[in-house]
Amino acid sequence: MTRTPFSIALALIAGIVGTQFLCAADDLERRATWSIPATADVKARLDDYLAGKRLDETAKLKIEALWPDEAQPIASAELLDRLTTSLAVVEPKAAEIVAACHNIVPLPPPNFDGISDQSLPPLVRDNLRLLLARWLAQHDLVDESLEILKDVGPENVADPATLLFYQAVGQHRLLKKDECLAAVTKLLERESDLPRRYVTLARLMEADIKPLKEDSLDEIARMMNDIRRRLALARAGKVVRDEEDAVVAKLEKMIEEMEKQRKERQQKQQANNPRGNRPNDPLQDSKAAQLRAPGDVDPKNIGKRDGWGNLPPKERQEVMQQIGRELPAHFRETIEEYFKRLAQERVK
């Protein structure tokens, strides 16, 4: 069969594209800093651990039933469950954690010796930590989950993808932007090998937290949501109080900045219009009228803070009107909480 120049060109292009694809895949493999263990490798490590244990026939049968075909690849999440369930057969501390993670236990859960016992090998201790941390994160206890996972590395667990995923989830929830982005980047080093749900959620977390700016209304609203989460979990302690104080401080800083900008604009207008003639602005007058409707916070009740409390009533009202004009409606609750907090401090 005679090949035309066109068909030869197509073959060359296909070859080049295929080579580039393989090279890209090889490059990604080289750049990945972690690996996903095979089922047989995990089972082999389990066998090495069990070799030092005295197992009765019942225990042997229970473990064998969990591994009917160790050469058959299984999903990483299931691999973690099989491994920890096998460990629970021979290790009482593991049995306690496995039972807790498969049943409804009181929140917060008790402290388990198995996650801190340095006499246990990393195969046992770190996989138990991952199992418990996954359970905690799924019940919205992200602080505790991150604390348990802080010293766990991908090389010691049966499911490193779940480790990295839940580290990213906790850091995203606690607004640890740099740590979250680093965990997502590391997780996606093996994007093609991950469960689709992990990839999708990792991309969503990345897109969500990347534009987050410090001291923004977005950050403040998220902090308030985290306060609500903690209170719903009966976490009304120092962390919540500190976070509440941080919200108030950020709002105060924002309002002071807006006040400064308002003064600068006022000075500029006076310089450009020395006679004091004020042009009519029906739109602004309409918005200002809306803010004087019932339900607005009375500015005279927030007078204690430096700068803000010393403003004449007319200027305070103008700042309030500016807040209402410039801030999105869904942040109104945050603003009201701020002024309520100031009012309470004034009463004290």
CA 210 to chain centre: 12
pLDDT at position 299, please? 42
**pLDDT band for position 347 (cuts 50, 70, 90):** low
**pLDDT band for position 110 (cuts 50, 70, 90):** confident
Comparing 271 with 110, the larger pLDDT belongs to 271
Range of lowest pLDDT (4-18, 40-54, 127-141): 4-18
Specify burial of residue 55 (Cβ count, 10 A radius: 0-12, 13-18, 19+). middle
How do the domains of the chain map onto residue ranges? 39-212, 220-271+286-347
Cis peptide preceding 108, ω within 30 of 0: yes
Range of lowest pLDDT (121-135, 233-247, 265-279, 287-301): 287-301
Backbone angles phi, psi at 104, to 5 degrees: -85, 120
**pLDDT band for position 225 (cuts 50, 70, 90):** confident
Mean pLDDT, rounded, for 316-328: 56
Comparing 74 with 344, the larger pLDDT belongs to 74
Mean pLDDT, rounded, for 70-98: 90
Give per-residue pLDDT as tens, 130-148.
999 999 999 888 999 999 9
- For 39-212, CATH gives 1.25.40
**pLDDT band for position 200 (cuts 50, 70, 90):** very high
**pLDDT band for position 315 (cuts 50, 70, 90):** low
Tokens of 64: 């064998």
Q: Which of these, 318, 260, 316, lies nearest to 285 by C-alpha position?
A: 318
- Percent of the chain residues topping a pLDDT of 90: 39
> Is the per-residue pLDDT at 323 higher than 70?
no
**pLDDT band for position 277 (cuts 50, 70, 90):** low
Comparing 86 with 106, the larger pLDDT belongs to 86
Specify burial of residue 213 (Cβ count, 10 A radius: 0-12, 13-18, 19+). exposed
pLDDT at position 233, please? 77
Please, how many CA atoms are within 13 Å of residue 165, restricted to the half-sphere of its CB?
A: 24
pLDDT at position 57, please? 92
Comparing 23 with 48, the larger pLDDT belongs to 48
Cβ 177 vs Cβ 185: under 8 Å: no
What lies within 8 Å, CB to CB, of 198 at 6+ separation is 161, 165, 187
pLDDT at position 81, please? 94
Is 231 strand, coil or helix? Answer: helix
pLDDT at position 8, please? 46
Specify burial of residue 97 (Cβ count, 10 A radius: 0-12, 13-18, 19+). buried
Please, how many CA atoms are within 13 Å of residue 149, restricted to the half-sphere of its CB?
A: 30
Mean pLDDT, rounded, for 320-342: 57
Range of lowest pLDDT (47-51, 239-243, 261-265, 335-339): 335-339
Is 198 strand, coil or helix? Answer: helix
Cβ 208 vs Cβ 171: under 8 Å: no
Q: How far apart are CA 86 and CA 63, in angstroms?
A: 6
Name the average pLDDT for the chain. Answer: 77
What lies within 8 Å, CB to CB, of 34 at 6+ separation is 154, 155, 160, 164, 186, 189, 190
